[in-house]
């Protein structure tokens, strides 16, 4: 698994949040919307958590690498206050893994727009290795 920011342990979460804030500031300072649309910064790559507990088993064979995903914050989630669900074409697939959602939740809570795409699909007996996705700031 590739990571582009430090893990979100309590020790590294402030640094990761500061890095993401700096990247967002750089993007917002670019002149003109046309230039800003040409810049895509990869924030992280993650496996999908909770594959077996949502709609992923029913739809994953129809998915393709490059498909857009929707990230949705669930601040009232009883299991994780930083929960972020991952959706494809209106189907809830699962979640950003708990160990990797702190920086994304921080950014989303501040109104930042994050894009996500399917980066890897593979048949694997371990459901956690079937779908991998990447999160971007544009």
Q: Give residue-wise pLDDT tens across range 46-69.
A: 999 999 999 999 998 899 999 999
Q: Give residue-wise pLDDT tens across range 86-123.
A: 999 999 999 999 999 999 999 999 998 899 999 999 98
Q: Provide the whole-model pTM.
A: 0.74
- Residue 72: enclosing H or E segment and its boundaries? strand 68-73
pLDDT value of residue 13? 66
Q: Give residue-wise pLDDT tens across range 11-40.
A: 666 666 767 777 777 766 666 655 545 678
Q: Is 8 exposed, middle or buried (0-12, 13-18, 19+ CB in 10 A)?
A: buried
pLDDT value of residue 38? 61
pLDDT value of residue 32? 61
pLDDT value of residue 126? 87
CA-to-CA distance for 9 and 23, rounded, in angstroms? Answer: 20
Closest to 86 measured CA to CA, from 126, 44, 24: 44
CA-to-CA distance for 36 and 61, rounded, in angstroms? Answer: 34
Q: How far is CA 12 from CA 8, 42, 69, 116, in A?
A: 5, 18, 26, 23
pLDDT value of residue 6? 41
**Which domains, ranges and CATH numbers included, belong to the chain?**
13-137 (3.30.70.2330)
């Amino acid at each position: 698994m590739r990571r582009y920011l430090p893990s979100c342990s309590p020790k590294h979460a402030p640094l990761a949040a500061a890095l993401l804030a700096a990247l967002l500031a750089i993007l917002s300072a670019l002149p003109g919307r046309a230039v800003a649309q040409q810049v895509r910064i990869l924030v992280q790559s993650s496996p999908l958590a909770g594959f077996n507990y949502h709609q992923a088993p029913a739809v994953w064979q129809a998915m393709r690498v490059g498909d857009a995903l929707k990230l949705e914050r669930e601040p009232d989630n009883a299991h994780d206050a930083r929960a972020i669900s991952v959706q494809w074409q209106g189907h809830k697939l699962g979640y950003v893994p708990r160990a990797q959602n702190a920086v994304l939740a921080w950014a989303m809570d501040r109104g930042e727009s994050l894009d996500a795409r399917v980066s890897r699909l593979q048949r694997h007996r371990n459901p956690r290795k079937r779908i991998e996705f990447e999160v971007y700031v544009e």
